[in-house]
Structure 1
Amino acid sequence: MEKEYAQVQVKAKKHKKLFEEVIVNPFAYEVNENLYFQVVYKNRKGKITGSAIMAVTSDSEDEARKANKPLTLYCATVSGLLRGGRQRATQSPEIMNPLIDALSNEPDPEIRLGVEKIIELREWHRRFNKVYGEAETNFAGGLKTVTEEDLKFLVERTAHLEVIHDEIVRIMSEDIPLFEEWRKNLKKKGLWGRLTEHSKGFIYQLIKDRKKAEQLRAAALRIEGNTYDERVAYVRKRIDLDEEEVMQGHKKELRWPKM
């Protein structure tokens, strides 16, 4: 597959315009034993200006059209996962452990309330990292021949990540008044000094970032459903309905095959 990939990089230049950069995504889709790759063309500013679906061993437009949709949707899903998940997944939820450990044995209900909310935040973050890691194993291994099952797997993980992210942002926006009161009680009851400087900084930053979290949640698409599973199903259905819009946008920049 490395050989086909390298040859497509050369062949892709036939559709390249002046000053464009040629990028061949490392995912292939097989049609009649021919491996098709998605080629992306970018201008000097990094903006995508065109694309193509190409194979080394075939110039069949019919085959390229068959490969177009699964390749386009898979590459678009990977791009969305990287854009929306990679940065959060690099942050460890275990940074909350010292804060939780320092106060986990406090019987005071007002203190317990804040501890339980931090535990909830940590668990959602752990869940996010786990699901993102599962998704990443599907696309981060280099060159890969993808199938409809791969696409289905990534769409499912995308839906879970969107719901989990919404839960994290909900805590970081709606529950800030609780954290403000919690910080006051920690100081009033002489427990603030028990915390490490890092834990104190975490609480301050959590409160400080309220407006940013509110803006993130306001900008996000609404997720309906009463349970976690219902909300995941809602997002998954929305992704399915958005497929046509993705394909129409891709069609405008597609140089080969002709659609």
Structure 2
Amino acid sequence: MNAQLMGIAKKHKKWFEEVIINPMGYAVNNRDYYYLVIYKRNNKLKGYAVITTGDFNKNDALYAFEKLVLYSAFMNNFSSIGETRARISPDNFYIPANYLSDYLESNSNDILARGELILKELGVLQEEFVKNANNYTDYYDHHILKTNIIVDSDLDKIIEVLANVNRLQYLAGEKFVSSYEELKEVQSEMVKEGVFSKLPKDNQVFLKELLSSKKETETTLLTLEREKETAHLPYEERMEVSKKGFWKEGQKKLPRYKQDLRYPKP
């Protein structure tokens, strides 16, 4: 990080605080780039500053602060949900579904046939989730972190990703909860028919953990009220409602973020 920027950032720190300068700059009117400084103590947020090595303008700095702090908040949201869930491979659903498919080629079993369909549907949703999350992570790593610049379209992009992440999280969660009793029956039937023991150990563990996560999933679904209310809408309409919702929520939080802004004072 630019030593001059760090020198400016340290002017606004308090005792025992850690100084973190977000590497992404935002230019107002294509002039000077402003950077968001985060002050922490014991890993807790203590304050913000907006700084530049160029010609400082308070109005420009406050405008840049809104863009920078919202992008930071949206990225934190994505990291905590999108990146974490994206680590779950769709194969955790597809592999047991394929074992069931092989079994059903020479056996008739309505319970396991239903289980194959449910697992494949969950696999498709997880595959789409991983694709969306990984595409944005790739964009972040190879564009934003390479240029160290964000523009207005980057806020639009991260909001769209969050809208998709929540949509897919809701669909997968709803499918799992509504199919929970069937999946329990499927697992019992797999054990009975000797299919479960043939699964790779990782897949056995995953299915057991999946079936123990019903309460956690139900709790998550309660936080996705907007996705529930818009579930009946066509994809495009649903996405528009969700994106507007994310932006509105961000705007509502701005006064709170500004309370922690040390420099410049609003």
240, 243, 252: which one aligns with 1:245: 252
The residue identity in structure 2 corresponding to 1:136 is T
Counterpart in the other structure of 1:176: 180
CA spacing shift, 1:20–1:118, aligned 2, 3 Å: same
CA distance in 2, matches of 1:14, 1:231: 46
The residue identity in structure 2 corresponding to 1:37 is Y
Instruction: Report the more deviating stretch, 89-98 or 109-118.
Output: 89-98
CA distance in 1, matches of 2:134, 2:234: 20
Matches within 5 A, 1:98-247: 98-105=95-102, 106=104, 108-141=109-142, 142=145, 144-223=148-227, 224-225=229-230, 226-227=232-233, 229=235, 230-247=237-254
CA contact (8 A) 1:36 1:55 kept: yes
**Structure 1: runs of 5 or more not aligned:** none
Matches within 5 A, 1:3-14: 5-14=2-11
Match status 1:255 vs 2:262: yes
Counterpart in the other structure of 2:36: 38
Measured against aligned partners, the alpha-carbon deviations of 1:63-85 in whole angstroms (never above 9, x if no partner) come to 21221221121111111111222
Counterpart in the other structure of 2:93: 96
| Alpha-carbon offset, residue 192 of structure 1 | 4.0
CA distance in 2, matches of 1:6, 1:131: 36
TM-score, normalised via structure 1 length: 0.89
CA distance in 2, matches of 1:130, 1:47: 32
Measured against aligned partners, the alpha-carbon deviations of 1:40-77 in whole angstroms (never above 9, x if no partner) come to 1111x211111011101222212212212211211111
SS at match of 2:11: helix
CA spacing shift, 1:56–1:205, aligned 2, 3 Å: same
Q: C-alpha root-mean-square deviation of aligned residues, in Å?
A: 2.0
The residue identity in structure 2 corresponding to 1:254 is L
Tell me the matched-pair count. Answer: 255
CA distance in 1, matches of 2:50, 2:33: 10
CA distance in 2, matches of 1:22, 1:108: 61
CA contact (8 A) 1:163 1:228 kept: no
CA spacing shift, 1:228–1:205, aligned 2, 3 Å: farther
| Alpha-carbon offset, residue 228 of structure 1 | 5.7
Instruction: Report the more deviating stretch, 168-177 or 147-156.
Output: 168-177
CA spacing shift, 1:36–1:130, aligned 2, 3 Å: same
| Alpha-carbon offset, residue 190 of structure 1 | 5.0
SS at match of 1:37: strand
SS at match of 2:217: helix
Q: Where do 4+ consecutive residues of structure 1 move more than 6 Å?
A: none
| Alpha-carbon offset, residue 187 of structure 1 | 3.9
CA distance in 1, matches of 2:38, 2:116: 48
CA spacing shift, 1:200–1:139, aligned 2, 3 Å: closer
CA contact (8 A) 1:98 1:199 kept: yes
Counterpart in the other structure of 1:54: 51
**Structure 2: runs of 5 or more not aligned:** none
CA distance in 1, matches of 2:78, 2:112: 37
